[in-house]
Structures are given as structure tokens and as C-alpha cells.
Amino acid sequence: MNQPFQPAYGISTDSSAIRHRVLRNTYWLLALSMIPTVLGAWLGVQMKLTFFAGSPMIGFIVFMAIAFGFFYAIEKTKHSAIGVAVLLGFTFFMGLMLSRLIGHILNFSNGASLIMTAFGGTAVIFAVMASVATTSKRDFSGMSSWLFAGVMVILLAGVANIFLQMPLLQVVISAIAVVIFSAYILYDVQRIINGGETNYISATLAIYLDLYNVFVHLLSLLGIMGGERD
């Protein structure tokens, strides 16, 4: 009866060790999530997937409905291995959605180069922001409100541009989005380090969406400003 309390299996009493384990698992799952994303994008390009290209507003609504369905499913299963499978299914879906932009960029004579540049730029942004989040003593949690407000502005402007079709507005939207989601990488990585996020599946989803949006908007900028026709 006087035996010391034994913590439950798999639960460490060292909070620092827990945070590092969550961060490590997040990075591993994030790397794994790139595989279905690339596969989905490749398949979408091969199938010439347009996803309601003739009715962009309907396409946007359907996309949001499916995405939020995945968010709900991930949240419900994030404490089990099923959550990993659902997350990877979501990243495959996002790869399919990416294929339309990839196909458009590949129509440029320098399309492959633009894609690699956007990928490299995204990798650099991630490395810099993750390093700052890891080494900085500054608390970035206060950014959450203005980052969320920035996402809402981007979303509303993007919906408006479905009807306006203004290239200049798209440039402004994409430039702001790269800044906002780069800052979100900083915020989300530091949340893990500070113990604000203890589930690696939820953490992976957040950082994946940050990287996805940085890549998409960086590629859009490169396509608008540097795309070359034959």
C-alpha cells in the first residue's frame, strides 16, 4: 500500500522530454505527409483535375466543406493511430487540390524551375522560422489574434477575387499570405516547444497548413511575375 505512485505507461513526468518528443514526432509525420501530397498532386496533374473550374465559387464551397470534414475527423481521432491515417488522407486531398496550380505553372517553359524555386523557398522559410521559434526567448503567443485576422482578410479577398479576377489583387493576396503563414510557422512551432500543443497529430496539421499555404502563394507569385511562355 505504501508503494510510490507509478506514472501510466507512455507518460513521462519530465515535461521537457514530452515537448521534445511531440516536436520530433511532428517533424517525422510532417515529412511523411509530403508523400501523399506529392502523389495527389501528380495524380491530379495526370487526370487534368479542374475541380469545378467553371464554377469557382461552388468549387470553393465544396473544398471548404471537405476540408472541414477532414478537420473534424482528425480532431476526433487524433489520440489514436487512425488519426495518422486520416491526416495522410487529408494531405492526399490537398495534393489533388494543388494539382490545378501545378498544371498551370507547368504550362510555362520554366514551370519546373518555378516549382523547385517555390519548394526551396518554402523549405528555407520553414528552417528559419523553426530555428527562431526554437532559439528565441521571446514569447510569440500574442501574435495569434492578428494572425487570425490576417487569415480572414486573405480569405475574404480571395473570395472577392473569384469574381474580380484581378492579377494585381492576387499578387497582393499572395504576398500577404506568404508573410502571414510564415509567421504562423513561428507561432505553431513555439506552441509545441512551450507545451501549448501536446498532440503531434494536431501539431502536424497546423504546421502542414502553414507550409502548404506558403508554398501555394509563393508559387502563385512566381507564376504571375516570372512565368515564361514559349
Residue 140 in any domain: the answer is yes
Is 2 inside any structural domain? no
Give the count of domains, the chain. Answer: 1
Determine, yes or no, domain membership for 52: yes
On whether residue 128 sits in a domain, the answer given is yes
pLDDT tens, position by position, 133-154:
999 888 888 898 999 999 999 9
Q: Which three cell numbers stand for residue 202?
A: 494536431
26 found inside a domain: yes
**141 vs 184 pLDDT, higher one:** 184
Integer CA distances (angstroms), 140 to 1, 59, 137, 207, in order: 46, 35, 9, 15
Domain of 193 in residue numbering reads as 15-226
The whole-number pLDDT of residue 11 equals: 45
Q: What is the pTM of this model?
A: 0.90
Does the pLDDT value for residue 6 go beyond 70? no
Mind listing the pLDDT tens digit for each residue in 102-136? 999 999 999 999 999 999 999 999 999 999 999 98
* 97 occurs within a structural domain: yes
Range list of H helices, the chain: 15-47, 56-77, 81-106, 111-135, 144-164, 167-193, 200-226
Domain presence at residue 1 = no
In a domain, 4, yes or no: no
Q: Which residues, 6+ apart, have CB-to-CB distance to 45 below 8 Å?
A: 99, 102, 103, 106
